[in-house]
Structure 1
């Protein structure tokens, strides 16, 4: 499964392009622009599983750093600061990673 199975290619391109500059990433705005906020919980979980590259059941810090690349190969890597901010926003139980329920909550809160 790819992101374009869940989200529109044009929305992905626009959302990733909006945060092309370093230290500009805002997850709330990104999830809105990419169309994820309007999707069902099942679709949000599909996106989670695409981003969970190692299939561990969690999105760890190294996977978060590449979150934009998870949506499109043209995406940039997040800076360390952006990665830590995203992790802090999503990691509700403090275990240093984002589980599927934490991810759906993060998207819903956006």
Structure 2
């Protein structure tokens, strides 16, 4: 499923513009601007599946660095500090990766 099947192009653009500067990524602001906070849990899980590039059932740190490119090809890479902060915010069980339920909980927190 393509991201544009789940989210509006203008919302994605707005969210990406808000985090365009390096070290400006704020997952809460991004999820809200992209329209994800208002989505059902099922649709957030579909977004997760689109971001889980290797279909492992988890978003690992390597995938997380490129998460903005999952929303749009011209999305920037997250810095190492942003990647670590995002992972720490979402990884509630401490296994070093983000599961589908952790991702959904983070979007709706």
Corresponding residue of 1:54:
54
Unaligned stretches of 5+ residues in structure 1: none
Per the normalisation by structure 1, the TM-score is 0.98
Corresponding residue of 2:16:
16
Bigger helix share = 1
- Between the two proteins, the alignment pairs up a number of residues equal to 109
Corresponding residue of 1:108:
108
- In the alignment, the residues of structure 2 paired with residue 52 and residue 2 of structure 1 have an alpha-carbon distance, to the nearest angstrom, of 12
SS in 1 for 2:94: coil
Q: Deviations over 1:20-71 (max 9, x none)?
A: 1000000000000000000000100000000000000000001110111010
Instruction: Extract structure 1 runs of 4+ deviating beyond 6 A.
Output: none
SS in 2 for 1:75: coil
Per the normalisation by structure 2, the TM-score is 0.99
Superposed counterparts of 1:1-110, under 5 Å:
1-109=1-109
Unaligned stretches of 5+ residues in structure 2: none
